[in-house]
Structure 1
Amino acid sequence: MADNGYTVATPRDAQDCALDVGMFDQLNSGYVKRGQDIMPRQGSKHPWRVLMHYEKDAKILLEDPIDDGVLHFAAAAQDHAAA
């Protein structure tokens, strides 16, 4: 990112993959149920869907390109009032 002058990377859901489904919704333990509202959510498909498969996750994280069309890179806006 620094090589390209980027300081911000923001994920964007351009394919409307949002679901109101948490990663642990199928677990019934009391402590899991009490914390559901603060747990991460997942979407309907990659990259918003949690695979829970080490080999597939490792390939995605270590080998696939970072610039996959989901992350949008930009330079942070300068706060001239603070300067």
Structure 2
Amino acid sequence: MADESQLTMRSLEFWGPGEEELARKLKERNVSVKPAGTVQRAVFQDESSLQDCLCKLEELTAEKVFVREAETPPDSGFSTR
């Protein structure tokens, strides 16, 4: 059975012209970010952290980024597919 931290983690995939800037700024905020195939994947500790990021996207990067919420697998949320 997954522990409680795995049940609350949320992932966000993003790509586009501003993805490198967004990845850098999220890392500065102690968010785990890694490449996942052709996109970047950020793993947040809980729903409120994810929502906070979404609300502040314009502050984090002036360039366009496309985002989608991604399923977070129990192994840390990162995929190389």
Give the TM-score category using the shorter length. under 0.3
Q: Which one has the bigger strand percentage?
A: 2
**Higher Cα Rg: structure 1 or 2?**
1
Q: Which one has the bigger helix percentage?
A: 2
